[in-house]
Amino acid sequence: MSSRNWLFGLILIVATTLAYQPAWNGKPIWDDEIHITIPALRSVHGLARIWTDPAAAPQYYPLLHTVFWIEYRLWGAWPLPYHLVNIALHALTALLMLRILQRLELPGAWVAAAIFALHPVLVESVAWISELKNTLSGALCAGSALMYLKYDQSRERSAYFIAFVLFLAGLMTKTVIVTLPAVLLVIFWWKRGTLAWTRDLKPLAPFFLVALGAGLVTIWVEQKFCAEHGETFDFSLIDRLLIAGRLFWFYLIELVWPKDLMIIYPVWNISQTVWWQYLFPVAALILFLGLWLIRKKWRGPFAAAFCFLLMLFPVLGFFNLSYFMSSLGPDRHAAIFRADHFQYLATIAVIAPFSAGARWIGGRLQAGLRSAAYLAVGALLLFLASMTWAQSRTYRDAETCFHAVVAKNPNSPTAHSNLGIAMAEKGALNDAIAHYETALKLAPNYEFGHYNLGIALLRKGEVDGAIAHLRTVLRTNPNHSKAYYSLAMALVQKGETNQAIAYYDRALKLEPDFPDAHCNLANLLLEKGEIDPALAHYRTALQLQPDNPGAHYNLAVGLVHKGEPDAAIAELRIALQLDPAYPDAEPLLRDLLSRKKQP
């Protein structure tokens, strides 16, 4: 690369980093706490489970969760490095897009890369910690594409091998990149006007095979392990075509006019009896037909639109993905369907031809007008960067994020429930309860609304109300381990110890790696004099959280009851090493040491 390219690259990295400055120290929001590696997976054994157990992590993306595992080992739960990694990967993807467009000899490559780096529709993918899956898979996919284009020109085996390995790694990060080989074929058709088996199709066959395998695994895992209880995807082929057509235009329009972006969009109701819903797929069909008819003169527009469609295809509604194809209410044809992060890579298929067209027009303007055109491009980039900066502010914390959603989408039960969680965490229980109750008014059967309201009422001391809502959760979903755990805590407050023990036991059968449940169950067993079973649960909790001073303290208490003071002293010393101010550990240690000195 020339020194000019290096300078522009540095400017782009700095501009991207500054545009996302409000999100640098953004606290974890929705689902981040389960992506920043959970305690049960933080050991080397947990790392092995990430690769061998499809149900260990939120989704079976083993490379993604390995990166999260490494990040947690390096900086724990400190949010800044997680955000900086996401921003760096996004900037890297923009630079890789630049090199791809330059290799394809598309004019306006720098403008396209800058728009990609600074466009506000991509904020969700970059500012949300959980969406490392997008920025990492995006960088791997772009790197694979760049190396394959190099192979296509040089036929170097090393370039082919690197492209394949990067693609495989990308699939293990997020399967949405399965369409890359098909996109490459469209690019070759655009460049050459035809496709040849030996030159174009045959080398990509292994890519298609691993893409198919990864896609099938993801579909199986999504349906078996990721779909929440009660989620449905009961849509006919016509319904799915209506969904796909509407999504295609939503993403295209959102890219051109990024207004009212939010992490949870309002529900769409899909109905075959509503005539205007057919306009979306019909309009898309007319668009592609028109672009096909002019292909002999201009292949580029059809190729770009088709690449946009291909990269969106996995999230257009033809596959039963749990995240956005779920219904919270009785209407089985109502769902959100869309999210900004679903079009992360697809955006370049629109941005690149727009930038190329602008560069082509600018090159034909007179000198004075050309300067004005450059200023217009600069103003556009500054405008996009300012929008990205403003949108990044909503990812500072969960309260800010879901306040923003509720302001734009007040009928979202999920947003009210998540906002309630944020309010509860800051101690505003009455505000939290109000949002949970609003969520249940909007969706009376909303499982998370009942669960969160039950927890809030339990914290407030309204035990009977909490029990009622937690039992509602278990009627809806009898496999909700956290509901059994919370119900057991409520029953302890009512003095119903035996039933509480049964519920803790049920929670642990559903979720064996539940350290708090092990500790609480052990406490009850210890009170009943069942010392050996209690010690077994304390030790299991300690295996799950070896650096938890509370786990060492609890085990020490159990050992005291067992009559093993020396072992208890050792555990108390470890607890105090981990937390010198841990409550009750120092007095108990002094008491045990004084007893040892007595004759």
Question: In sequence order, which residues have a C-beta less than 8 Å from that of residue 307 and are 6 or more positions away?
Answer: 183, 186, 187, 346, 349
Number of domains in the chain: 3
pLDDT confidence of residue 328: 44
Q: Classify residue 45: in a domain, yes or no.
A: no
Q: Classify residue 71: in a domain, yes or no.
A: no
Q: Within this chain, do residues 237 and 302 fall inside the same structural domain, yes or no?
A: yes
Q: Within this chain, do residues 163 and 243 fall inside the same structural domain, yes or no?
A: yes
pLDDT confidence of residue 54: 86
Q: Classify residue 51: in a domain, yes or no.
A: no
Q: Within this chain, do residues 375 and 441 fall inside the same structural domain, yes or no?
A: no
Contact 16, 87 (CB under 8 A): yes
pLDDT confidence of residue 229: 46
The Cα-based distances of 38 to 25, 153, 192 in angstroms read 20, 45, 50
Q: Within this chain, do residues 131 and 160 fall inside the same structural domain, yes or no?
A: yes
Q: Classify residue 211: in a domain, yes or no.
A: yes
Q: Which of 460, 479, 513 is the last residue of a domain?
A: 513
Q: pLDDT class for 326, splitting at 50, 70, 90?
A: low
pLDDT confidence of residue 590: 87
Q: Classify residue 72: in a domain, yes or no.
A: no
25-59 pLDDT, tens digit per residue, is: 999 998 888 888 887 788 888 899 999 988 888 88
DSSP state of 340: G
Q: Classify residue 49: in a domain, yes or no.
A: no
Phi-psi region of 344 (alpha: psi -120 to 50; beta: other; left: phi over 0): alpha
d(CA 45, CA 536): 20
CATH number of the domain at 574, please. Answer: 1.25.40.10
Q: Within this chain, do residues 375 and 472 fall inside the same structural domain, yes or no?
A: no
The DSSP element (H or E) to which 334 belongs, if any, is strand 334-335
Q: Within this chain, do residues 149 and 213 fall inside the same structural domain, yes or no?
A: yes
Q: Percent of the chain scored above 70 by pLDDT?
A: 95
pLDDT confidence of residue 373: 83
Between CA 504 and CA 522, with CA 539 as vertex, the angle to 5 degrees is 35
Q: What is the mean pLDDT of the chain?
A: 91
Tokens linked to 227:
């779909």
Q: Within this chain, do residues 387 and 421 fall inside the same structural domain, yes or no?
A: no
Contact 86, 314 (CB under 8 A): no
pLDDT confidence of residue 329: 46
Domain residues for 491? 410-513
233-290 pLDDT, tens digit per residue, is: 678 889 899 999 999 999 999 999 998 999 999 988 888 999 999 999 999 999 999 9
Residue 334's nearest CA partner among 241, 444, 243 is 243
Q: Within this chain, do residues 352 and 464 fall inside the same structural domain, yes or no?
A: no
d(CA 501, CA 487): 10
Q: Within this chain, do residues 260 and 200 fall inside the same structural domain, yes or no?
A: yes
Residue 176's nearest CA partner among 208, 206, 128, 133 is 133
Mean pLDDT of 155-172: 96
pLDDT confidence of residue 39: 77
Q: Which of 513, 542, 568 is the last residue of a domain?
A: 513
50-60 pLDDT, tens digit per residue, is: 999 888 888 88
Q: Within this chain, do residues 490 and 542 fall inside the same structural domain, yes or no?
A: no
The DSSP element (H or E) to which 446 belongs, if any, is none
Q: Within this chain, do residues 381 and 429 fall inside the same structural domain, yes or no?
A: no
Contact 127, 395 (CB under 8 A): yes
Q: Which of 488, 513, 538 is the last residue of a domain?
A: 513
Whether the pLDDT of residue 511 is over 70: the answer is yes
Q: Classify residue 574: in a domain, yes or no.
A: yes
Whether the pLDDT of residue 211 is over 90: the answer is yes
Whether the pLDDT of residue 372 is over 90: the answer is no
Of 93-97, 510-514, 524-528, where does the model show the most confidence? 93-97
Q: pLDDT class for 136, splitting at 50, 70, 90?
A: very high
Least confident range from 363-367, 429-433, 460-464: namely: 363-367
What length does the chain have? 599
Whether the pLDDT of residue 227 is over 70: the answer is no
Q: Classify residue 419: in a domain, yes or no.
A: yes
pLDDT confidence of residue 325: 57
pLDDT confidence of residue 292: 96
Q: Within this chain, do residues 427 and 555 fall inside the same structural domain, yes or no?
A: no
User: Which comes out higher in pLDDT, residue 591 or 79?
Assistant: 79
Q: pLDDT class for 574, splitting at 50, 70, 90?
A: very high
Contact 558, 533 (CB under 8 A): no
pLDDT confidence of residue 152: 95
Full DSSP string of 101-132? HHHTT-TTHHHHHHHHHH-GGGHHHHHSGGGH
